[in-house]
Chains A and B, each alone.
Chain A
């Protein structure tokens, strides 16, 4: 949608904080246009590393149809799997970069695990819009998008409930601020076997 973007583009700047007002990192913010389907977009590939027996980063947002590679940066093997309805797959014991990346063709959260290391948890969040971002440590996620009206949503693996979607009207170059308050609770993590 270069045209749209060309015609007029703006920036959405979403700030996510928790109940205490602290910034929430690794939250996926995505916007859907009001009135029409989001275009397929470029389907940028993504990467989910396994470093030191952890998925890095914790959350990787991708657009539907995007391929995600799972490079194993440890010197041991991993067995990455997902039983999530959005994408079921299994990368049996491997090291290095698997030959084929995994294509996520349905929107929704995909929880990644490693059959060898039970504590390893990672998330691929598959969105059906090309406009999305992920909050950094300051709880802010910014991305460009064409002018227009959008429904903006947020997702975080630890959120207890999905907060109400927000409407944002993107008009010009000016950044459109969106605020989300998110109740996040870190689930009990299994102890890591070092």
Chain B
């Protein structure tokens, strides 16, 4: 369940989604704020520079006004005017110095109206004809009555003002200048908040830094940037000492020596610092919130996936059949509900499965394991036994005559007996033993770790346990059972074979009348041949391997032959003659006897029909098995056969066994009535071996009664048998039946039967069963013979 890709897991997907979402959002916010901050900082800087420029200009103007005022005071001084008017140069010079000193001017100059420098405080000694160095100043002053300008004098910047000296018309121009130095720059910086450098550009294009608030290293870098200074104009970024400055060049004044400008600069780093701090804070917030969201989404995802995993684990446990452990989810959310539903489902599955298991492995009537479960246990036991090399045994138990109980007392009674038997069986066995009901009245018992000795004891206990009669509605019912045992490892190592072997042994016990039989491998050959017999019997009918032999019945009173019994013979191509005793019971067991019966009936009716057509008048009996009597189609089949072969019904006699009638007396009686109605002759075979009551026999529409050969054969020497024969004959006669004795092998027997009043006899002494042609020949020959030649006949007639 470990996923190859991390994103396969729900938890990771949830976490990754939210983290990515947050990162994207934070990223966008960060980018917007950063870009916005940068833009704002940029605008602020540009604005600051512009404001700074205005401030600087205003300051310069104010200075100029102040200076002008001071200069005007000087120019208005009467003495000064008198000195100027009188060209009193020494007086003029000293007045200039004096007044200059009053207002702290750096330079004071006087120009004549013809623009000559009359006096100069810088060069007191020099007077005369030098031209005034700032003619434009005079132009302005002449036009406006005053002038102010920032000029370059001797490579130094001055703020100059000029006013006329009036008397009262202008008679000269007086100029005063203030040197702009570092102090000026510092003042400008103080009011503008900017770095201020005063720079000049000489006529030859050479730039000089005249004063600056920048550190000297930056000033050097400024001069190194000379070509760039040219390009600054209203806005540019200069790198000073690696530090970027947004710069603005404000031209302050032009003069013949060059132009003076104020370079106003704002450190970009300082300007963006607040925004950088903001960005840093924002970045920190983003980082922290991402970390929190990672933690949070992992927690939430875990709260989702943990119960899901628990549920998945529980589902696997259910798959493996473990229903004992419910899922424990404490959450009260949807997953908690899911877990609760899951637990309900688990309970439902467990309950249904145990029910299904019971149905699949338990016999509902007795509560015992059923055949499937027995086989499971058997396999299990076999595995254990094979490993541990311990013996064990399998028993098959079948109740005797259970069908009879069911029929006579009803199915509910049968069920009660089965339950009681199950209880008693369980009571006799160990805990480790298994009793199962295989079906019907058949039980199986598994005895693990049991040697033959123990098996024998267990068998005896079981038989003993079943001995006390079971009381049903106050009525004691005797129950007995036949037990077959097969042992591991002696009898087989295959569970199915062990069970089958036990079954075989059980049938052996049943046939032999014993209660317990151990499986005998030597009996297998016969059984095996039985099995193959079935297929061969089927083929025999197809290939007409069966044949009918006829044994005549002697009418003792007249010595005539009017009847015969048809006996089926099987001439196997390989085995040779197969006696009916070998395949008829077997065919009865398997149900295949139906086909044999039909073949016999078809053949008999055809034969009788043929003989009748030939004028051979003989009644032939055919044996009908127990199962045939329960076959409702039998009467119709016979009727159609008789019709087909134009056989008079009276020529056909059906011999039925007493035990066959007793299997299902009601149905048998019904069938017999219908057969009787057809006009057939009916005979009870092997009378005396069954359990039928006389009152019942009386109801049967039969005309004949046959005494079993076993009594007849020994009646000469066995008094009891003779009594049975005699009383049977009497009984038959009393009931209005003709009595036939079979198995008559001696002349003495014939005589005895004749003396007892028996109606007919059948046996080797008269004739063995003959094939049809031989029988016809024998019969024709016998009928053709004169009756006196027959010794018995004379006696009979006597």
Contacts and interface: CB of A to CB of B under 8 A. Distances in A.
B340 interface: no
Contacts of B167: 81-83, 111, 113
B145 A115 contact: no
Interface in A50-90: 81-83, 88
Contact of B169 (A81, A114, A187): A187
Contacts of A114: 168
Given A83-B85, A188-B145, A190-B145, A115 B78 contact: yes
Interface string A171-194: 000000000000000011010000
A105 B406 CA distance: 186
B82 interface: yes
A121 interface: yes
A113 B145 contact: no
A116 to B, nearest CB: 10
A83 B169 CA distance: 10
Contacts of A119: 168
Interface string B162-175: 00001111010000
A145 interface: no
A120 interface: yes
Give the contact-size bracket for chain B.
10 to 19
Interface string B114-150: 0000000000000000000000000000000100000
Interface string B70-103: 0000001010011001100000000000000000
B78 to A, nearest CB: 5
B142 to A, nearest CB: 9
A112 B167 CA distance: 8
Contacts of B168: 111-114, 118-121, 190
Contacts of A81: 78, 167
Contacts of B171: 83
Nearest to A123: B169
A81 B167 CA distance: 8
A188 B145 CA distance: 8
A121 B169 contact: yes
Overall SS of chain A's interface: strand
B244 to A, nearest CB: 50
Contacts of B86: 83, 88
Contacts of A187: 169
Nearest to B76: A118
B169 A111 contact: yes
Nearest to A85: B85
User: Which secondary structure dominates where chain B touches chain A?
Assistant: mixed
Q: Which of A83, A113, A188 has the most CB of B within 10 A?
A: A83
Contacts of A190: 145, 166, 168
Nearest to A117: B168
Contacts of B76: 118
Nearest to B166: A118
Nearest to B167: A83
Contacts of B145: 188, 190
B81 A83 contact: yes
A192 B116 CA distance: 30
- A81, A82, A88, A114 — most chain B CB neighbours (10 Å): A81
A25 to B, nearest CB: 19
A104 B228 CA distance: 67
Interface in A101-159: 111-115, 118-121
Nearest to B171: A83
A91 to B, nearest CB: 13
User: Considering residues B76, B86, B169, which has the most beta carbons from chain A within 10 angstroms of its beta carbon?
Assistant: B169
A118 B167 CA distance: 8
Given A83-B171, A188-B145, A113 B82 contact: no
A112 B78 CA distance: 14
A111 B85 CA distance: 12
Nearest to A188: B145
B68 to A, nearest CB: 14
A83 B167 CA distance: 7
Contacts of A83: 81-82, 85-86, 167, 171
Interface string A17-38: 0000000000000000000000
A119 B167 CA distance: 10
Interface in B551-581: none
Select the residue from B76, B145, B168, B169 with max chain A CB neighbours within 10 A.
Answer: B168
A11 B171 CA distance: 38
Most B-side CB within 10 Å, residue of A114, A118, A121:
A118
A169 B81 CA distance: 45
Nearest to B142: A188
Nearest to B82: A83
B97 to A, nearest CB: 22
A188 B140 CA distance: 13
Contacts of B169: 111, 113, 121, 187
Contacts of B78: 81, 115
A115 B81 CA distance: 10
A46 B470 CA distance: 185
A186 B167 CA distance: 16
A91 B316 CA distance: 130
A129 B167 CA distance: 27
A190 B168 CA distance: 9
Contacts of B85: 83, 88
A112 to B, nearest CB: 8
Contacts of A115: 78
A121 B528 CA distance: 169
Interface in B432-469: none
A81 B76 CA distance: 13
A81 B171 CA distance: 14
A92 to B, nearest CB: 10
A83 B78 CA distance: 11
Interface string B619-643: 0000000000000000000000000
Interface in B159-204: 166-169, 171
A150 B720 CA distance: 222
Contacts of A113: 166-169
A193 to B, nearest CB: 13
Nearest to B81: A83
A57 B166 CA distance: 20
Nearest to B75: A118
Contacts of A121: 168-169
A120 B85 CA distance: 17
Contacts of A112: 168
A35 B457 CA distance: 197
Contacts of B82: 83
Contacts of A188: 145
A119 to B, nearest CB: 7
Nearest to B77: A115
A83 B87 CA distance: 11
A146 B85 CA distance: 40
B283 to A, nearest CB: 65
B95 to A, nearest CB: 15
A27 B169 CA distance: 18
Nearest to B78: A115
Nearest to B170: A187
A53 B504 CA distance: 167
B525 to A, nearest CB: 162
Nearest to A121: B168
A119 B76 CA distance: 12
A115 B76 CA distance: 8
A187 B82 CA distance: 22
A188 B143 CA distance: 8
B372 to A, nearest CB: 135
B299 to A, nearest CB: 86
Closest 9 CB pairs of A and B: A83-B85, A113-B168, A83-B167, A121-B168, A115-B78, A111-B169, A113-B167, A188-B145, A118-B168
Given A113-B169, A188-B145, 15 more contacts: A81-B78, A81-B167, A83-B81, A83-B82, A83-B85, A83-B86, A83-B167, A111-B169, A113-B166, A113-B168, A114-B168, A118-B166, A119-B168, A121-B169, A187-B169
8 contacts: A81-B78, A82-B167, A83-B82, A111-B168, A113-B167, A113-B168, A115-B78, A187-B169
